Structure 1
Amino acid sequence: MIEFGTGGWRAKIGEEFTKTNIQLLAQAIANLIFEQEAESKGFLIGYDRRFLSDKAAKWLTEVLAANGIKVFFIERISPTPLVMFGVKEYGTFYGAAITASHNPADYNGVKLFTKGGKDATEEVTDELEKKINRMNLIEAKSMDFEQAKAEGLVEEIDPFNKYIDTIISMIDTEAIKNSNMKILLDPMFGVSKTSLQTILITARCEVETINDRHDTLFGGRLPSPNTHTLNRLKNMVVEGNYDLGIGTDGDADRLGIIDEKGNFIHPNDVLALLYYYLLEYKGWSGGVVRNVATTHLLDQIADAYGEKCYEVPVGFKHISSTMETKNALIGGESSGGLTIRGHIKGKDGIFAASILIEMLSVTKKRLSELLEIVQQKFGYFKAAESDLRFTDKEKATLIQKLFIDKELPEFDYEIKDISYQDGVKVYFKNKGWIIVRFSGTEPLLRIFAEMGTAVKARELIFQMKNFLDLENYKSVI
């Protein structure tokens, strides 16, 4: 069974993530490409450091090549944003990164991209799922990888330099050179080191790295840059007197930031800071796109500058497509992914970190200072969240209660609106909100809340968990 979620197809290695399933997926992709008469454009593939990523990339390639579709194969381990850039640069109709992003080490997966380097839409992934369900392994063609190279059906490429040069051309390297920044980078055993270190050293930053070796177990941690997983980075930033600590997830499309005081800066605040910087300091214009679980501080900033904030379901494909149709300036999510107009259509932790360093260099302010300025100007918005696991039986009960019977707690705050666009989100008249939704990438129930104080946000989550009888479930955040 292959099911795509908000971040592609992800599955446990040896269970659903197997050579057989990858070959079936590849054949379904080949069939779709031929139906759309896009076979002459080829297909681009990249992979990260996870266990089986390199082999899975070749399994996918061997099926596509056997169908006569040329594959542009990135010959080095690559961040997902580099793969998306490659799809755009080589003009292929489709491409894929073999990665499970921030999932645990026993997962792997495939992120599928479409023309221009965008995340595949639900229409595309739904069609692939239908094709796979009608297929069997006998239908999947395959040929040896080396034979495919010899016949010109595989071309090994390296778009690294052009990707790096593109980012450098989009940032103010002179301002960064003059700031003498000292940066500590934590790739979390993932793939960001080479790309981000190259950019920052080019801009004359002093860069040191931790957790940069190849470790398919990610050092025993979840490769997701959050306040719980970046403790070593927090301590070392303070001890080493660094200006900034940067953590990136397994495939480098998301980031986590530590300020000069060793504080974890929530991705909500990073997104708000960058939006404010682009409007106020660079003089750019345009709205902002956020998903339903991301801070409403963005709404306040947009309104102050005569711009609009657009709310979309979770899944970066919704952010990138809305950015395109609305010509928005920036788009992002509370999990640490963001992109800016003029770059690739998907999230890029390497580019986001580069712009963040430019912001500190241009403003000549510490990160903590800038955040306080933004909060004083536009209001204090504090987030809380909780992720909880459940069984299939428990999930059915939750669906019945929340989405069929549409039951909700009796909140202490006056309700302004309720939305079932993605999960159930309750908007309060005091500008606070709470949302409950099932993760599209992991078997988790996710609860997010935002209020004027962190205490009130946590109280909302506790109330919701009590209402759903989840207080005894194992919380994973």
Structure 2
Amino acid sequence: MNINTVVTAPYADQCPGTSGLRKKTQTFITQANYLENYIQSCLCVVDVDKHQPIIIGGDGRYYNDIAIQQTIRIALGNGFTDIRVCQRGLLSTPACSHLIRHCQATLGFVFSASHNPGGENGDVGIKLNVANGGPAPVSLTDEIYAYSQQISHYVIADTADIDLMDCQYYRFGEARVAVIDGVGDYVKLMQSLFDFALIRDYLTSNRLQFDAMHAITGPYAKAIFVDCLGVDANDILNATPLPDFAGQHPDPSPTTAKTLYNTAMSPDCPFSLLAASDGDGDRNMIVGHKLFVNPSDSLAVIAANHTAIKQFQSLPFVGVARSLPTSRAVDVVANALGIDCYETPTGWKFFGNLLDANRINLCGEESFGTSGHHIREKDGIWAVLCWLSILATQKQSVSAVMQSHWARFGRHYYARYDFEGLSVQAGEQILADLTQKDTKSLQFNQQDCTELGHFSYTDPTNQSHISHQGYQVKFGESARFVVRLSGTGTVGATLRLYLEVFDSDFMQQPDVVVAPLAQHALAFIDLARYHHTTQPTAIVC
């Protein structure tokens, strides 16, 4: 096996965001060594035993085949001797987290841009996961970026492409590349976490519809829902992963999973539960007949009903965590249960430290992400199995479960307004200018502002500190709004406005309840000064 040294030069834009490095597909295709520079930077910075396993896979999007083969070659060139690549290159983000932990691997590469579109004109991402199975921490991604700004060469093995269709081994001197099953171990994990007999019995008289959105969860959904739980294969929609996701946006929301959502809202919907996942399998959408379950509410319901879930029956249920923009619905549940509740910045890496320290069992984000202590990523199919467990135990509809929950805890009406297409400079200026606003008369529903400012977080496990993670305005426990920039896009900036109003009357329409708060928030931000429109490009509520 020959090892070649290739001279290269830095790219200034290789700073990773919330979930790794994400760029337009054409950036990787047209800019020489763009992929190779970043992979080499990662492998030079990580301090790991090169004889321990590394995991490689992706969500099947366009360019993944090239990225995976090049990463194998660069890993071989850098002296890694135990490289494990998933069959057909297909690996969901939660399954990668599990494989790292299960195989005691030192790191894993997931080639995905999550819920972003795919195809030649879509997006590509490179996500690095570390030995606990979670995303690389900020300290490590900062080092990777710093290295990428001074890189002068990369090393790569001169080998042919690996055949990824069948599980087998390849030898390259002392090194071994193994093509492994990326689905089987994850299925076994789910079988250990849930009472499949209980769920299977429930599904004999109740139907599930699941939309894999032509993304990574198709093979996992077939193996779990169809083969293990007896769901009709015709009720698993869009189960074949495609490089361009059939031209669709693989984001599980009422807007993008429109067929499934419209079925749920129809008068004669035949399904008890409808769900969807995203490009890399870490997000989830839960829908009942004529009821969309807000992800913040979903987190709270899972916490309140954790005893229905086998995973949480074996260990003390000690705590929960949510990201700053996620509604405070789970806080109320935690208070009732007498357990800790942590508020963190957006990004699963912050939950990982709390999970590793056994401070929490459950965590979630408003952006359709939920998971438990079994891995260090959010997990879409796992969340669906949680809901199936709750429904099977309570023997109620999704609507009945939600109404019972709101009757007990009250309802946190919630919405997220997205403003896409801002320049990065405008987005940053909005957040910078918020500190200069006049707040003397800031009120909502006759409630004075009780707290405002940029959110900072000190990790209780290691005392690391991070600041400016979003701007929050509170009106006691009755309402609040949060303003932050999204870290998952590839072009320009997306400003997100999160709105939350608490009310014991739980039968109102969310968009109607939050609309007055949205007016207050937009007036406070004065968005028209920075952007051509004050109309959101997307609303989730």
Structure 1 residue corresponding to 2:84, chosen from 67, 72, 75: 72
Q: Deviations over 1:90-129 (max 9, x none)?
A: 2121111000001133111011100021111001111111
Structure 1 gap ranges (5+) = none
CA distance 1:16–1:436, change in 2 (3 Å): farther
| Structure 1 residue identity aligned to 2:201 | N
| Structure 2 residue identity aligned to 1:418 | L
CA RMSD of aligned residues (A): 2.2
Structure 1 residue 190 and structure 2 residue 251: aligned?
no
| Structure 1 residue identity aligned to 2:199 | I
Q: Is the 8 A contact 2:211 2:238 kept in 1?
A: yes
SS at match of 1:452: strand
Q: Is the 8 A contact 1:385 1:461 kept in 2?
A: no
Structure 1 residue 107 and structure 2 residue 123: aligned?
yes
Q: Deviations over 1:426-469 (max 9, x none)?
A: 12214321100111112211110110363342322233223333
TM-aligned CA deviation for residue 19 of structure 1:
6.0
| Counterpart residue number, 1:460 | 517
SS at match of 1:118: coil
Bigger mean CA offset, 140-149 vs 210-219 = 140-149
**Structure 1: how far apart are the matches of 2:520 and 2:248?**
29
Bigger mean CA offset, 301-310 vs 13-22 = 13-22
**Structure 2: how far apart are the matches of 1:457 and 1:240?**
28
TM-aligned CA deviation for residue 214 of structure 1:
4.0
**Structure 2: how far apart are the matches of 1:352 and 1:430?**
28
Structure 1 residue 329 and structure 2 residue 361: aligned?
yes
**Structure 1: how far apart are the matches of 2:356 and 2:475?**
30
| Structure 2 residue identity aligned to 1:258 | V
TM-aligned CA deviation for residue 302 of structure 1:
0.6
| Counterpart residue number, 2:5 | none
TM-aligned CA deviation for residue 272 of structure 1:
1.2
**Structure 2: how far apart are the matches of 1:310 and 1:173?**
31
**Structure 1: how far apart are the matches of 2:522 and 2:397?**
37
| Counterpart residue number, 2:292 | 264
CA distance 1:213–1:141, change in 2 (3 Å): closer
SS at match of 1:51: coil
| Counterpart residue number, 2:454 | 420
SS at match of 2:37: helix
Structure 2 residue corresponding to 1:358, chosen from 382, 389, 393: 389
Alignment of 1:149-168 (within 5 A): 149-151=170-172, 152-168=175-191
**Structure 2: how far apart are the matches of 1:188 and 1:66?**
36
Alignment of 1:291-310 (within 5 A): 291-310=323-342
Structure 1 residue 445 and structure 2 residue 517: aligned?
no
Q: Is the 8 A contact 1:176 1:205 kept in 2?
A: no
Q: Is the 8 A contact 1:68 1:153 kept in 2?
A: no
| Counterpart residue number, 1:84 | 97
Q: Is the 8 A contact 2:78 2:155 kept in 1?
A: no
**Structure 1: how far apart are the matches of 2:85 and 2:428?**
42
| Counterpart residue number, 2:380 | 349
CA distance 1:130–1:54, change in 2 (3 Å): same
| Counterpart residue number, 1:9 | 21
TM-aligned CA deviation for residue 245 of structure 1:
0.8
TM-aligned CA deviation for residue 37 of structure 1:
4.6
CA distance 1:42–1:323, change in 2 (3 Å): closer
CA distance 1:145–1:38, change in 2 (3 Å): farther
CA distance 1:52–1:280, change in 2 (3 Å): closer
Q: Deviations over 1:368-388 (max 9, x none)?
A: 101111111011111011111
Structure 1 residue 55 and structure 2 residue 50: aligned?
no
Q: Is the 8 A contact 1:331 1:338 kept in 2?
A: yes
Query: What percent of counterpart residues are identical?
Result: 24
CA distance 1:58–1:16, change in 2 (3 Å): closer
| Counterpart residue number, 2:303 | 275
| Counterpart residue number, 1:252 | 281
Q: Is the 8 A contact 2:324 2:344 kept in 1?
A: yes
Q: Is the 8 A contact 1:225 1:248 kept in 2?
A: yes
**Structure 1: how far apart are the matches of 2:221 and 2:269?**
20
**Structure 1: how far apart are the matches of 2:453 and 2:404?**
32
CA distance 1:131–1:145, change in 2 (3 Å): farther
Structure 1 residue corresponding to 2:142, chosen from 122, 126, 133: 126
Count of aligned pairs:
471
Q: Which TM-score applies when normalising by structure 2?
A: 0.82
TM-aligned CA deviation for residue 393 of structure 1:
4.0
Structure 1 residue 225 and structure 2 residue 259: aligned?
no
TM-aligned CA deviation for residue 402 of structure 1:
2.2
TM-aligned CA deviation for residue 331 of structure 1:
0.4
**Structure 2: how far apart are the matches of 1:153 and 1:16?**
27
Q: Is the 8 A contact 1:230 1:247 kept in 2?
A: yes
Q: Is the 8 A contact 2:442 2:448 kept in 1?
A: no
**Structure 2: how far apart are the matches of 1:102 and 1:258?**
18
**Structure 1: how far apart are the matches of 2:192 and 2:425?**
52
Q: Which TM-score applies when normalising by structure 1?
A: 0.93
TM-aligned CA deviation for residue 16 of structure 1:
5.4
**Structure 2: how far apart are the matches of 1:170 and 1:400?**
45
SS at match of 2:411: coil
| Structure 2 residue identity aligned to 1:83 | C
Structure 2 gap ranges (5+) = 1-12, 163-168, 456-468, 504-509
SS at match of 1:144: coil
**Structure 2: how far apart are the matches of 1:214 and 1:317?**
27
Normalized per residue, which structure has more helix? 1
| Counterpart residue number, 2:6 | none
Normalized per residue, which structure has more strand? 2
Q: Is the 8 A contact 2:218 2:241 kept in 1?
A: no
**Structure 1: how far apart are the matches of 2:241 and 2:356?**
36
Bigger mean CA offset, 264-273 vs 94-103 = 264-273
**Structure 2: how far apart are the matches of 1:222 and 1:429?**
37
